[in-house]
Structure 1
Amino acid sequence: MTPASTGASTTVGAVPSVSLPPSGPSSDSRMTPGGPGYRRMSLALFLAGVATFALLYSTQALLPLISADLGVAAGEASWTVAAATGGLALFVLPMSALSERFGRRTVMTASLAVAVTVGLLVPFAPSLGALVALRAVQGAALAGLPASATAYLAEEVTPRALVTAIGLFVAGNSVGGMSGRVITGWVAQEWGWRAAVAVVGLIAVGCAVAFRVLLPAPRHFRAGSLRPRVLVGTVREHLGNPLLRRLYAIGALFMTVFGGVYTVIGYRLTEAPFGLPQGVVGSIFLVYLVGTVSASGAGRLVGRLGRRGALYLAGGTTAAGLLLSLAGSLVPVLLGLVLITAGFFAGHAVASSAVSKTATRGRAQASALYQSAYYIGSSVGSTVGAMAFHSGGWGGTVGVGLLAVVGVVGITVVGSRAAVRARVAAA
């Protein structure tokens, strides 16, 4: 998109010693759909996305069982999710700086190795405090994945294929979140929550090994500097860009909805009037397949409606799902979850790919800031959503989600007005 169409400059100010995709003829060697290495790269990052979300949210579907086993309330148990996403949010920017210096593939490999190791220790946590601490370390380790992955794609994939490529990575997130929850639900029903998170850890080990074997070596990475002054300058440039600020806020608000809904839904479905067993509750997360489709189709959606049109549609779909989920019978609740999931993953794929397109310099830091805002939204959503459920039932959680969607729409309206002013000024 041109600056006029976005309402902000598409170039973030120059910062020395920050990696850039090469210009000129060498850009022709970047990967394209159907070209050499593209399929291996797509599968590798898809598996990285699977491992990331499976580990990050491994306890989310198990919160009722954790509450019962450790004798804690929903709000306290929700910290096993919030600690992981909070750790990721805090460490994603430092990890992105390491990826600028040591390379995207190196940092992603190391991050997965540490995260899966901690994942194998989580089942042996003796108390809620130990469990929360391990989950925080796990989230911090996983921080090396999201920003480095999107920066890798921005450097190694042609611009026209970028939204689709990032959509596939996000689709891996959805499959990881779904499979982790479905598997843990049925395993926990038979052998308890500790066995369930152990199984997720073993699956993540397999994904990590396959990722390292499959991912092509980067061809367009240029090492940057670890000097704090350079990092601060890059971050300042990104935060000074109005479009990037709006995209960061949109990512955080979408994830507030998603984190709140999926942290609480297990409690709602195991209680009256539904009273579903844990295995069935875990299977509810099969609706993540809808997210896989909507995320991978985000590029086509932007092509038809434009970025802001796609965000309006994603927000409206999410809001409709929230309202539908208020029903007292199971079928409309499930349909509501389908709409919430589709809207969230589409909105996330559109916003995150727009960040990579907008920031032509310091892409890892630009993506890291988005991921930090995104996972802060997850931590806020899971904690506030659980508190709202405790005090006001499912309607309280839905109210939090609707406020977040209103925020998404409001920010997108601001972007639309900025685009109009830019076109008038350029005329």
Structure 2
Amino acid sequence: MDSDAGRIRRIRFASLTGALALFALLYAPQAVLPQLATEFSVPPGTVALLISASTLGLALAAVPLGTLSEALGRRRTMIASLLIAEGIGLLLPWVHHFALMVGARLVQGAAVAGLATVAVAYLADEAGGRHLGSTMGLYVAGTTIGGMSGRIVCGVVADFAGWSGGMLAVALLAGVCTVAFVMLLPADSRRSRQPWKWRPLVEGLRSAASTPVLYAPYLVAALGMGAFVTVYNVLGFRLIGPPLMVPPALAALAFLAYAAGTVTSAVAGRVADRRGRSPVLLCGLSITVVGLLAMLSEQLVLILLGLVVFTGGFFMAHSVASTWVGARAPESARGQASSLYQFCYYSGSSVGGVAGGTAFAAWGWTGMTALLCCWLAVAAGGVVLARGAT
């Protein structure tokens, strides 16, 4: 019993540090997008490619790496993935050509896919049953801590050391977390690797793509993440521009709103284990919309309060949706189902981030909000249709 309890603790701490490193690296440039737009003389919609490129790389690599992890082994895939992403993170501060940086971010996103897509399946296998909701909630909490710390560290350091100094600081922070992840993560123990044969791997992918009960979380992943990354991509432009005129270092502190996601993602997993996934997921989406509407205000305090509510609601929904996939995917296709969820999640980030940024440039914050509310309503509709199956 003690051995099992100790193993679960190691898995939880490893998932927390791994998620922190991954999301700090993935989203750090978001805090300095206005500075990068000035550095490279590009408009907001174009500079957002530095975020969309990484999430596009992740989306494109999600299914292949999630499928191959069934044969390579999940721990090996996750560790190699994070080490490569960290290496690129250490190189990015020295890149001073926009197209080259976009290309490097694309490769970095593809690298981290090995962790982002495999983690859900690994946790479902190694900490399943009564531990799954709380363990998955802690992993998602790690994603919020990573996203928050990467953005804040980058934004604050960049105010006196430039954007390259900010990104280097984040890479060093992620390096410490990467070392902890490698040391803590236990080997796969409850699932043997599949042989290097394409047919069973492809069959698993087909099963994951044709299981109707998984369509709702796939939809939530795509549309919810599209809305979420849009808000955070353009938030800096709104805060530092007229009429608010918030100094950049202080604007970066708005990413402290991620702390709300840390709390709600951890709590949502436990509540969903008791109350069911559909009601908690619909509650999360509703809270997300409420926060989005509150941000229509021109008052800084109400904008920041709305951001906290918006962030908490989104991560509540994401935590439950990802747990839904891990729990309801066919056992033989759990890795592929996880990779499809991540494909939808990061495709939504890439496509939605660009579409939402374009909407902001064309219609302002109000028009963008209307578009994002429509996306979230469609996602909620998918959950309502599927709730009888959960």
Q: TM-score range by the shorter chain?
A: over 0.9
Residue aligning to 1:267: 237
Residue aligning to 1:129: 99
Letter in 1 for 2:140: V
Contact 2:269–2:323, Cα closer than 8 Å, also in 1: no
Per-residue CA shift, 1:230-258, capped at 9, x if unaligned? 22211111111111122111111110111
Residue aligning to 2:332: 361
Alpha-carbon distance between aligned partners in 1 of 2:22 and 2:168, rounded to the nearest angstrom: 15
Report SS of the residue matched to 2:134: helix
Residue aligning to 1:296: 266
Report SS of the residue matched to 1:328: coil
Residue aligning to 2:179: 209
Out of 332, 342, 347, the residue aligned to residue 371 of structure 1 is 342
> Identity of counterpart residues, as a percentage?
41
More helix by share: 2
Q: Does the C-alpha gap of structure 1 residues 58 and 355 become closer, same or farther in structure 2, counting only changes over 3 Å?
A: same
Residue aligning to 2:358: 387
Unaligned stretches of 5+ residues in structure 1:
1-27, 423-427
194-203 vs 320-329, which moves further: 194-203
Alpha-carbon distance between aligned partners in 1 of 2:224 and 2:197, rounded to the nearest angstrom: 33
Report SS of the residue matched to 1:257: helix
Alpha-carbon distance between aligned partners in 1 of 2:280 and 2:336, rounded to the nearest angstrom: 25
Contact 1:249–1:373, Cα closer than 8 Å, also in 2: yes
When Rg is computed on C-alpha atoms for both structures, the one with the higher figure is 1
| Structure 1 segment 127-276 matched on structure 2, within 5 A | 127-276=97-246
Q: Following superposition, which runs of at least 4 residues in structure 1 exceed 6 angstroms of deviation?
A: none
Contact 1:53–1:176, Cα closer than 8 Å, also in 2: yes
Contact 1:184–1:200, Cα closer than 8 Å, also in 2: yes
Q: Aligned residue pairs: how many?
A: 389
Letter in 1 for 2:93: P
Residue aligning to 1:60: 30
Report SS of the residue matched to 1:181: helix
| Structure 1 segment 275-294 matched on structure 2, within 5 A | 275-294=245-264
170-179 vs 238-247, which moves further: 238-247
Contact 2:208–2:334, Cα closer than 8 Å, also in 1: no
Q: Does the C-alpha gap of structure 1 residues 64 and 349 become closer, same or farther in structure 2, counting only changes over 3 Å?
A: same
Alpha-carbon distance between aligned partners in 2 of 1:92 and 1:141, rounded to the nearest angstrom: 9
Residue aligning to 2:299: 329
Alpha-carbon distance between aligned partners in 2 of 1:300 and 1:55, rounded to the nearest angstrom: 28
Letter in 1 for 2:100: A
Note the aligned Cα RMSD (angstroms): 1.5
Alpha-carbon distance between aligned partners in 1 of 2:85 and 2:161, rounded to the nearest angstrom: 23
Contact 2:217–2:322, Cα closer than 8 Å, also in 1: yes
Q: Does 1:350 align with 2:320?
A: yes
Residue aligning to 1:22: none
Contact 1:314–1:346, Cα closer than 8 Å, also in 2: yes
Q: Does 1:410 align with 2:381?
A: yes
Residue aligning to 2:369: 398
Unaligned stretches of 5+ residues in structure 2:
none
Alpha-carbon distance between aligned partners in 2 of 1:331 and 1:167, rounded to the nearest angstrom: 29
118-127 vs 327-336, which moves further: 118-127
**TM-score, normalising length: structure 1:** 0.88
Alpha-carbon distance between aligned partners in 1 of 2:181 and 2:11, rounded to the nearest angstrom: 9
